[in-house]
Amino acid sequence: MQTQQILETIKMIDEDYLDIRTITIGISLLDCIDPDIHASCRKVEEKICRIAKDLVPVAEEISRTYGIPIVNKRVSVTPISLLCSATQGDPIEYALTLERCAQKLGVDFIGGYSALVQKGYTEGDRRLIRSIPQALKQTSHVCSSVNIGSTKAGINMNAVKEMGQIIRDCAELTKDDNCLGAAKLVVFCNAPEDNPFMAGAFHGVGEADCVINVGVSGPGVVRAALAKASKTAPMDELADLIKRTAFKITRMGQMVGVLASEKLGIPFGIVDLSLAPTPAIGDSVAHILEEMGLSTCGAYGTTACLAMLNDAVKKGGVMATSHVGGLSGAFIPVSEDAGMIDAARSGVLNLEKLEAMTAVCSVGLDMIIIPGDTPASIISGIIADEAAIGMVNSKTTAVRLIPAVGKKVGEELNFGGLLGHGPIMKVNMASNEIMIDRGGRIPAPLQSLKN
């Protein structure tokens, strides 16, 4: 690298919050299946701790050597519902095993307490989903996800109905801890099998035995680049600037992934190009949109700016690495983004505008705090709407809602750390119970017939 490029990267790290958001080791647990759940749990613990034992030390060594902040070290595993299908034991035994592994390894989160039910349930899926609220209450590091729809399969409306109640139960059981259980659960449509970001990370059945996936993040860098551009520059020039910036960010992620792969002896999987914000001032996707000329995120034009940002990030990133995957684009988690917190507080950014933005972002309705008395059917309706956007547009969408038990619109919930804080947003309470109670399956759209 030329001296100028090195200095530029140092400035990005020091002033613009450039970091590697996560190194995630994905581990297959299919060879840990056993009719005896206790034997299966012993196999799970042994394999995870053996493969990932050096993850934290290696990440810290890379960070010290190259001066690159690596914020999170994580593990994702095969959806645990697949293991539940082979045993009649209590699925929470697996959750407690994953928690022990996380504590032994010193990782931030471990994902994969998950089920894939886009087309229907197995008995293992049913038992795991019913156990999610208790599992998340009894663990600190375990994350859960459920995929309820896909472009190929349609939307499992029975699962949509159930997940509305599960989210409420997660919040209720952890109400003394800021309803944190709901913040560790995400409901997907078109869930990717190689996503390194929590709470939705799991190790897909099509993946290798173990793999390293890297998630990069640089919203502050993109915002700083746009801040230097002329206020009269046309939008295509801004798109080109974002592409060049995303290329630089992604090259760093590629380098860290290759280094970690060599040191750990684990194959390198993908780089997730996502711009993942934090509550820190200057590390906000909303502020990027405002640099494009919006007075605040949520103003008319926000969805168009976000669409351009998402596209430009992907175009720049794919030139910088051979293997792109995960979600890749721009995240819009309200409680984790300083600009979105401000816009939500002012009332400019509401749930309906956020839903429109999810049609063009890389994930969905993320880390949105809603009134604690929101009925389960309303939550299910929000999930169904979001899944429909993903299904019809052949993209990943997700819902991570936190019902703030005992709190009303205008009050705030504070999770602390990376999960941030935010206002409780107004929800349209018009009844949808008859529709949700119908159950069944919304058929796959015509665009699923591509063979």
3-state secondary structure of 283: coil
Confidence band, pLDDT 50/70/90 cuts, at residue 13: low
Q: Which H or E element spans position 399?
A: strand 397-404
Rounded to the nearest 5 degrees, what angle is found at the Cα of 187, between the Cα atoms of 343 and 350?
20
Asked if 257 and 251 count as a contact pair (C-beta separation under 8 A), the reply is: no
* CA distance linking residue 448 with residue 389, whole number of Å: 14
Task: Give the pLDDT band of residue 326 (cuts 50, 70, 90).
Answer: confident
Question: Does residue 250 surpass a pLDDT of 90?
Answer: no
Alpha-carbon span 412 to 371, nearest angstrom: 10
Strands 421-423 and 412-414: antiparallel
Q: According to the 3-state scheme, what is the secondary structure of 80-100? A: HHHHHCCCCCCCHHHHHHHHH
Percent residues over pLDDT 70 in the chain: 96
pLDDT category at 323 given cuts 50, 70, 90 is: confident
Give the integer Cα–Cα distance in Å for 409 and 412: 8
Task: Name the residue with tokens 């928690």.
Answer: 99
Whether the CB-CB separation of 80 and 113 falls below 8 Å is answered with yes
Among the listed ranges 116-130, 144-158, 325-339, which one has the minimum average pLDDT value?
325-339
User: What residue type is 13 in one-letter code?
Assistant: I
Contact between 286 and 340 (Cβ < 8 Å): yes
Q: Calculate mean pLDDT across residues 122-147.
A: 96
Mean pLDDT of the chain: 90
Q: Tell me how far apart the alpha carbons of residues 190 and 394 are, in angstroms, rounded to a whole number.
A: 8
State how far the Cα of 123 lies from the Cα of 130, in Å rounded to an integer: 11
Torsion of CA 67, 68, 69, 72, to 10 degrees: -130
Q: pLDDT tens for residues 418-444?
A: 788 889 999 999 999 999 999 999 999
> What is the rounded CA–CA span in Å between residue 273 and residue 216?
6
CATH architecture of 1-450: Alpha-Beta Barrel (3.20)
Q: Going by C-beta distance under 8 Å and a sequence separation of 6 or more, which residues neighbour residue 412?
A: 369, 421, 422, 423, 424
SS3 285: helix
Domain-wise residue ranges, the chain? 1-450
pLDDT for 148:
97
Report the C-alpha gap between 8 and 436 in whole angstroms.
Answer: 53
Please state, in angstroms and rounded to a whole number, the distance separating the CA atoms of residues 355 and 372.
20
How many other CB atoms are there within 10 angstroms of residue 439's CB atom?
12
